[in-house]
Amino acid sequence: MTWQLIFEIAKALMLARKKQTLIAAIGVMFSITMFVALLGFMNGLNTLLDGLILNRTPHIRFYNEIKPNPNQAIDQSPEFAQSLNIIRSIKPSTSRLAIYNSASIVEDLEADPRVLGVSAKISCQVFFNVGTIDLTGVVNGIDVEKEAELFAFTDYVTVGNYADVNQTNTIILGKGAADRMMANIGDVVQVTTAQGNRVQLKVVGYFQSGLGDFDNVNSYASITTVQKMLGEPPSYITDIQVKLHDFNLAPPMARELEGIYKIDADDIQTVNAQFETGSSIRSLISYAVGITLLVVSGFGIYNILNMMIFEKLDTIAILKAIGFSSQDVNRIFITIALTIGLIGGVLGLIFGYLAGLTIDQIPFETQALPTIKTFPVDYNPKYYIIGGTFSLITTYFAGFFPARKASIVDPVEIIRGK
């Protein structure tokens, strides 16, 4: 039997049951709309939350960790070399925080094709002297342009110009630290380093990452300013931050380079494993809810087709009596199901996109996230592809069983009953 005739019969059956067909299509449309809108919103939120940490975290961080010397004197003695030696209360060894030959390491890393960019950094523990009170904090010496290029530094400087920190003896305070000290732009704060050096720094901006504990402690100055605070030479660097083209290479590359440069290395996946786990769980919940909606709409189509078959038994009997095969009847009802899924799916994708645009315009302002003005939405095409594909698959199986039931109808029994 020709497909054109099958399509015409399927169309006639759907139009004969306009209300039920419309309800089934609306069910698919609603499911796809919610699937696309929910995944777009949840993954946009995931990207926002992860970005608070991951955007500010290097893929690989090189540094010298303060730790006890693994080569204890008793282990070097031939007399006790074969013994199990237990030493308690080992104190950290006197080791330099600065990375030896840092300029050559940076140059070597920048030449590596796997590396997107490299930024040097100095972490300096300080006390902010506020009257008779000393507030603990950390002043990070950074290469401002590199920090802006690799770690979205400009997105978190909410007040002031980030480039002003390149001037000598200037600082961008964390918003929490600035509030605790009641320091305004243009004020001068006094800082005491762990070595006892006192420096006065002019406040040129506020930094706000959205993480309260981080902003209460961390502030930023240029590398030159921090080197002067510590009384160290221009070669003094405590951290080398690396961004890769593919952050999945971070764990093996960190272990590889750690052995080459003989310094400690942390990779982003190890340090921030809990954030990846949280994102995966939230995404899994979103997919589960969305697929559940599609499955529920599939049951609706199944019920409608079952009722249509029950009411159209005489029509099916006549079709089979005039020469339609069981396979043709099967194709007719499969065509009805796929048509409902296609129409509902296309409309659902359109309304899902419009729902995403609507969510994207809803105001969302909070002091913790000063750079965010509206709810975040992810418009990744894969959500639309998954939604459209799954709608067709769901509606196909929703129509398969009723279609098989219709194909085995015995026309003699139906006509005799009539």
What pLDDT is attached to residue 76? 67
Calpha distance 67→72 (Å, rounded): 13
Calpha distance 394→123 (Å, rounded): 56
Other CB atoms closer than 10 Å to residue 265's CB: what's the count? 23
Residues of the chain short of pLDDT 50, as ranges, are none
Other CB atoms closer than 10 Å to residue 330's CB: what's the count? 20
**Beta carbons within 8 Å of 51's beta carbon, 6+ residues apart:** 152
* φ, ψ of residue 321 in degrees (nearest 5): -70, -30
Q: What value, to the nearest 5°, has the Cα angle with vertex 110 and ends 107 and 111?
A: 90
The position carrying tokens 């342009």 is 145
Helices assigned H by DSSP within 272-363 = 273-311, 313-321, 326-360
Name which of 275, 264, 270, 265 is nearest 248 in CA terms: 270
At 95-137, the pLDDT tens digits run 667 888 888 888 888 888 998 888 888 888 888 888 778 888 8
What pLDDT is attached to residue 350? 92
Provide the residue type at 138 as one letter.
V
Q: Residues 372, 375, 379, 384: what is their CA dihedral angle, to the nearest 10 degrees?
A: 170
Name which of 258, 275, 278 is nearest 266 in CA terms: 258
Q: Residues 414, 415, 417, 418: what is their CA dihedral angle, to the nearest 10 degrees?
A: 120
What pLDDT is attached to residue 124? 87
Element (H, E) at 19: helix 18-54
Name which of 33, 39, 14 is nearest 345 in CA terms: 33
Element (H, E) at 157: strand 157-160
**Beta carbons within 8 Å of 242's beta carbon, 6+ residues apart:** 58, 59, 60, 61, 62, 109, 115, 117, 118
Output the pTM of the full model.
0.66
**Cβ atoms 92, 66 nearer than 8 A:** yes
What pLDDT is attached to residue 411? 67
At 84-97, the pLDDT tens digits run 766 666 655 556 67
Evaluated on CA atoms 162, 167, 173, 175, the torsion sign reads negative
Name which of 175, 169, 182 is nearest 205 in CA terms: 175
Q: Residues 60, 64, 67, 70: what is their CA dihedral angle, to the nearest 10 degrees?
A: 90
Residue 208's SS3 state is coil
